[in-house]
Amino acid sequence: MKPIKTALAAMLMAACYVQIAQADPAAPWADLRDPHLDVIPRTAEERDRIATVTTPKPDFSAPWPFEENPGGAQTVRARATADAFSQPAGNLSFQQELDFKVGNGMFRRIWVSPPASTIASDGLGPLYNARSCQRCHLKDGRGHPPEGPEDNAVSMFLRVSIPMADADRDRIRNYIEGTHPTAPEPTYGLQLQDFSLPGHAAEYRLDISYEEFQVPLSGQEVATLRRPTYRAADLGYGPLHPDAMLSPRVAPQMIGMGLLEAIPAQDILSWADPDDADGDGISGNPQIVWSQVHDQPMLGRFGHKAGNPTVLEQSASAFSGDIGISNPLHPAGSGECTAAQADCLAALDGGDPEQDGFEIDQAALDLVTFYSRNLAVPARRDLDDPQVLRGKQVFYETGCTACHRPSFVTNRLQGENPASFQLIWPYTDLLLHDMGPDLADNRPEGRADGREWRTAPLWGIGLTQTVSGHSYFLHDGRARSLLEAVLWHGGEAQAARDAVVEMPPEDRAALIRYLESL
């Protein structure tokens, strides 16, 4: 995309932005419902106001209205400490803040092996990746790959599956059109656990090796990237299936999840263009998954491939797969153990009648979900800095907003839901995009093929070093800086990536400075 030279050109860009965002009632999945049952339909006046406030402005010389508060009324002051992502949303009531704090306690709880004197904390494993939610999402930030032989992979693991046999495809319950059918790996299930209770073998050890290579940039600059190779080493239960597909996953940051859940499904679907009908090289494919909670297909929003439709379902699957904790949505006391792991299946679990037979009951799961929904997004920093403003213009002109959609207005919800009717700036369309062969994991998940990933939200990304103590990005943490993350983009983002390589160094530096302000 050529730089915008005039206000007229900028206004044309904004007009195109609005046109793309118009919903097509005839589009596939146009009747998908939202996660919340209490949505109040928008009036015509509200729709007009929303279109106005979410349309990019032609002037990049000063901050735009409301940009400073990316989480709307939920935004809090940006803290220069590791607690920057751990604050309650700014608009919680007194009672809601109490629920948030109790949920935080559950999120931080260290689970122990059964039986234990505290029935509310036993049930760990027998196979697991971490002993608490906080161990993966340390300080509610993003995880990282192991840093050297002395570091473990507690905030990273490998997903695994095999292609589904043709004879089994017709027997899939709740099959969704466009899904790539896969099956759990027969011995190891759907993810590999690298920790275990005494008497049980861990499933594997994550082994990563890197090959560095250089990328020439304009202005005689050079960036060094590292290409990872992953191996499931020291397998505890025999070899993997010969068709096993592995995918590395780093724990993502937690902020703003309730706001993402409250975005109207139709606003997300209006940007989908799976067949690239407009010929701009950007498709955007909605992930559609079956909701256990609502017993119907819903838009996937959470996870690196948007495999879960709600925060509750994301939380429940993490309790089961990551910690081995049974819950109303995943009732197996043995967690993810398979039929090939007989001792694991036979082990004592922590289910208790006082918790309806689960290791975490619905009430406690709801509290963790409330906490996860209401982690505040920190306010933007340095909005009026000239370099940040220039970087913002570069971000828009380079085409980054084709996937990293800047703003939405959440659903108007009944009651006192703190996510209701907020103007937010997450910089994601929550759709799946082909990111090219270099980022491909070659493992389908739902309607995502082996090259597609959900657009990651960018809010808070500039505080990663402050919160997590590192600057590793992308689904597997291979990028050691924001620039490296940009340079790994391919597929639908190839043109934007190449523009970053070729632009003047001062514009590239301004772009990174803008991202750091988010």
Residue 118 to residue 263: CA distance in whole angstroms: 39
* Number of neighbouring beta carbons within 10 Å of residue 323: 26
Confidence class for position 29, pLDDT limits 50, 70, 90:
confident
Which of 2-11, 179-188, 392-401, 422-431 has the lowest average pLDDT?
A: 2-11
Tens-digit pLDDT profile for residues 415-462: 999 999 999 999 999 999 999 999 999 999 999 999 999 999 999 999
Of 408, 390, 392, nearest to 400 (Cα)? 392
CB 269, CB 29: distance < 8 Å: yes
Give the pLDDT score at 208: 95
CB 350 within 8 A of CB 384: no
**pLDDT over 70 (residue 500):** yes
Mean pLDDT of the 253-278 span: 95
Span 243-253, mean pLDDT? 97
pLDDT at 319: 97
Summarised one tens digit per residue, pLDDT across range 300-314 is: 999 999 999 999 999
Average pLDDT over residues 56-79: 97
Listing DSSP states for 216-283 in one string gives E-GGG-EEEEEEEEEEEES-SSSPPPTT-EEEEEEPPP-TTHHHHHTS-HHHHHTT--TT-TT-SS--
pLDDT digits (tens, 9 = 90+) for 163-222: 988 767 777 777 788 899 899 999 999 999 999 999 999 999 999 999 999 999 999 999
Nearest Cα to 125, choosing from 137, 140, 142, 113?
A: 113
SS3 label, residue 291: strand
Question: Could you tell me the CA-to-CA distances from 98 to 88, 103, 353, 360, 370 in Å, in that order?
Answer: 10, 9, 26, 19, 11
The 3-state DSSP composition of the chain as helix, strand, coil percent (nearest 5) reads: 30, 15, 55
Measured CA to CA, the distance from residue 25 to residue 40 in angstroms comes to 19
**How many residues in total does the chain contain?**
518
Average pLDDT across the chain, whole number: 92
Tokens at 185, concatenated? 């790996």
pLDDT at 11 over 70: no
Q: What is the pLDDT of residues 90-108, one digit of tens each?
A: 999 999 999 999 999 999 9
